[in-house]
Structure 1
């Protein structure tokens, strides 16, 4: 990523970064490689220097960043708060189990009315949510048609019993073939994703609550370190985990002398959980965190990201915005403007890739630069001090469930 200038005895801006990924079974090294590759590209575009080294502190998977940005030396320890093992376990369902998930998840959203309220927010996430349902049903119908054809031929040529056996085997073979190719289709993956939040109708499963407590302890320890900022980044479904983790952290009490505490939520899908009846804990945490002066909370989405609830204030649309609400500051990454026309044309139909664009380089960056935020010499609060929220933000309270008890 280029040689860094000698920093000499200059004051170094130090930061601890805790990245909470969304529902992702992939090893966290993926995020390190993404940071390395995209950070180098953004540095070339913006004219600063950034470099990655192995992690120097104990704990979860991570890396160290050294940079010179705005002619000031900076250091950041990035740690990925890993829950990919929980994700993998939740995905260990067979074909029949996944179709049972489909029925239960569809009922969780349709039976409670949450689906119809979510549709009033943004169409993109709803298309993404309905995609695995439609795709799995289509796969089943195709398998049944082929299986029925094989059964009919078998019955005509031999015996009805053999025809049924051959037809059943064909149905299973077709469904298995689709499942084995799901890395490209993503129907099973997305089904497991939505089912994980819906299984308890918005409440966090016990194993996830236990992992969140571990994450909170890691962040609490960092708040006692001699750094300038502790920055928590929550992406996709990692955003609502971050909200609850930091709410618990502040409730426990922060050190009197402490670094700046910041929360950056990216591509959030909070309403997919907060609109469910048992998401009382999340709604309580949204309301609580939105009034806290102990932190800065900036929420960045983009209308071009069809998997996120773009510019939807997660507190307000969940119907729990209290008097004196301060956060989040809702901003747009404006993909169509911050990416060149050529780059935008290349990416605009790559929906899953665009959901990760927040952690990637922009060739026409505006106010948002992920690498300056995570490795630069300015806190999140100072960077966005006095900035007005997006005029296109959606604040209409649409959730039918607003209990926080």
Structure 2
């Protein structure tokens, strides 16, 4: 059981897991540096950020953030655990196969009633889930219209047509119905069609136990965390808090990795460094609520009753792509076998309090921009503060439960 340690954190090790993103290798380093610069302009506390280094296997990108010259704060080692190669492989597969998987997965979720449960949890996310499916229907309908029109004008359906033979006009009609979709590829990418399609397919496949490549990566991440901490201890380097952070689909990954870390090392979190888990804007229900995801629900149940770790789940009602108010205890029907509840602490990031009204009006209808607010610099002080959490002097538990930081926080689950 973790004991409360009120002393300041001087050395923190953050393992950050991005969401379903094919560009993670370049995105999160730049995002961190840019937003930290903005943060320091508003709140002060400049620090040195080292050059990023990528591991030989390409799975980890690391840098360090120095402690502040003045004031409190932790020296932080920051490891980004990468799985963008898996995402890129999904993007590289046949478009026809991706669409077929989307249709099968969506119809499956509709037939078992799970899509309606998602809508009840957050109608905005329900719309995001259904969006690629509706787009497929519209694109298919438009392709048929274009194909029929081409065939009609090339064949002998109208008196003014070219009266080409059927064996010529029909294949050209099919080609025209496909080519126009290829021609609007840039538009489809701008409206995040393929991103959301592949993301949903991945979550459905994972819930059905069809992603052994991802399962192997979870094991690799857990091994990296444990070996990194062991090497740090062997070198005599202090660590006050170990923090596993996941955003979006990475929130699910962080949960699964944390469960594996705890299962492999029975001593971690019992003494020395505190072990913390932070899930930001997580899509955890997308997989955990699928009937076939029994292993994941068992892992979540273990975390819910595990006192060696502090788990805080942050959501935001303004974010279209998370589930505000979701709590695994209430919505997953977990088997706790009579053990007392220790986790998670469920909190709202309250984006309206963190960004200026002008900014909020500008970004409120931009789902991805709002979704990434979890990782961006605050414009105003607030209870949720990504950089205070990862670079500041307080442990996660103290940060989340501090009355000054959370004047209107939700009732805490028993610890």
| Pairwise same-fold verdict (TM > 0.5) | yes
Structure 1 stretch displaced more, 30-39 or 114-123: 114-123
Would the alpha carbon gap of residues 73 and 96 (structure 1) be closer, same or farther in structure 2, given more than 3 Å must change? closer
Q: Indicate if the aligned counterparts of 1:234 and 1:240 stay in contact, CA closer than 8 A.
A: yes
CA distance in structure 2 between the partners assigned to 1:181 and 1:212 by the alignment: 34
The residue that corresponds to 2:344 in the other structure is 328
Q: Indicate if the aligned counterparts of 2:65 and 2:77 stay in contact, CA closer than 8 A.
A: yes
**Structure 2 unaligned regions, length at least 5:** 1-7, 156-160
Give, in angstroms, the shift of residue 356 of structure 1.
0.8
Q: Indicate if the aligned counterparts of 1:233 and 1:239 stay in contact, CA closer than 8 A.
A: yes
Counterpart selection for 1:29 from 23, 26, 29: 26
Secondary structure at 2:324's aligned position in 1?
A: coil
Summarize the alignment of residues 385-400 of structure 1 with structure 2, pairs less than 5 Å apart: 385=401, 390-391=409-410
Counterpart selection for 1:174 from 172, 180, 184: 180
Deviations 1:97-129 (A, max 9, x none): 122112211123112221122221110111110
Summarize the alignment of residues 61-140 of structure 1 with structure 2, pairs less than 5 Å apart: 61-68=61-68, 71-140=71-140
Counterpart selection for 2:384 from 368, 374, 385: 368
Q: Indicate if the aligned counterparts of 1:227 and 1:259 stay in contact, CA closer than 8 A.
A: yes
Would the alpha carbon gap of residues 230 and 299 (structure 1) be closer, same or farther in structure 2, given more than 3 Å must change? same
Q: Indicate if the aligned counterparts of 1:20 and 1:242 stay in contact, CA closer than 8 A.
A: yes
Summarize the alignment of residues 345-364 of structure 1 with structure 2, pairs less than 5 Å apart: 345-364=361-380
The residue that corresponds to 1:3 in the other structure is none
Q: Indicate if the aligned counterparts of 1:311 and 1:390 stay in contact, CA closer than 8 A.
A: no
Secondary structure at 1:132's aligned position in 2?
A: helix
**Structure 1 unaligned regions, length at least 5:** 1-10, 394-405
Give, in angstroms, the shift of residue 28 of structure 1.
2.1
CA distance in structure 2 between the partners assigned to 1:147 and 1:21 by the alignment: 41
Would the alpha carbon gap of residues 124 and 345 (structure 1) be closer, same or farther in structure 2, given more than 3 Å must change? same
Summarize the alignment of residues 247-396 of structure 1 with structure 2, pairs less than 5 Å apart: 247-252=259-264, 253-255=266-268, 257-320=271-334, 322=336, 323=338, 324-385=340-401, 390-391=409-410
Give, in angstroms, the shift of residue 238 of structure 1.
1.1
Secondary structure at 1:49's aligned position in 2?
A: coil
Q: Indicate if the aligned counterparts of 1:16 and 1:222 stay in contact, CA closer than 8 A.
A: no
Structure 1 stretch displaced more, 351-360 or 136-145: 136-145
Give, in angstroms, the shift of residue 222 of structure 1.
3.9
CA distance in structure 2 between the partners assigned to 1:271 and 1:211 by the alignment: 21
The residue that corresponds to 2:209 in the other structure is 203
Give, in angstroms, the shift of residue 51 of structure 1.
3.1
Would the alpha carbon gap of residues 215 and 245 (structure 1) be closer, same or farther in structure 2, given more than 3 Å must change? same
Deviations 1:253-273 (A, max 9, x none): 124543110111000111111
Give, in angstroms, the shift of residue 62 of structure 1.
2.1
Deviations 1:347-391 (A, max 9, x none): 111111111110001111311111111111221122123667954
CA distance in structure 1 between the partners assigned to 2:335 and 2:398 by the alignment: 24
Secondary structure at 1:23's aligned position in 2?
A: coil
The residue that corresponds to 1:6 in the other structure is none
CA distance in structure 2 between the partners assigned to 1:361 and 1:26 by the alignment: 21
TM-score by length of 1: 0.88
CA distance in structure 2 between the partners assigned to 1:58 and 1:182 by the alignment: 34
Counterpart selection for 2:162 from 157, 166, 172: 157
CA distance in structure 2 between the partners assigned to 1:321 and 1:348 by the alignment: 38
Secondary structure at 2:49's aligned position in 1?
A: strand
Deviations 1:65-120 (A, max 9, x none): 12428702531111111110011112222232122112211123112221122221
Give, in angstroms, the shift of residue 181 of structure 1.
3.6
CA distance in structure 1 between the partners assigned to 2:382 and 2:208 by the alignment: 35
TM-score by length of 2: 0.86
Secondary structure at 1:48's aligned position in 2?
A: coil
Secondary structure at 2:246's aligned position in 1?
A: strand
Q: Indicate if the aligned counterparts of 1:223 and 1:259 stay in contact, CA closer than 8 A.
A: no
Secondary structure at 2:275's aligned position in 1?
A: strand
Q: Indicate if the aligned counterparts of 1:330 and 1:390 stay in contact, CA closer than 8 A.
A: no
CA distance in structure 2 between the partners assigned to 1:157 and 1:57 by the alignment: 60
Tell me the number of residue pairs that the alignment of Structure 1 and Structure 2 aligns: 383
Q: Indicate if the aligned counterparts of 2:15 and 2:80 stay in contact, CA closer than 8 A.
A: yes
CA distance in structure 1 between the partners assigned to 2:93 and 2:109 by the alignment: 21
Structure 1 stretch displaced more, 356-365 or 59-68: 59-68
Structure 1 stretch displaced more, 136-145 or 247-256: 247-256
CA distance in structure 2 between the partners assigned to 1:312 and 1:390 by the alignment: 15
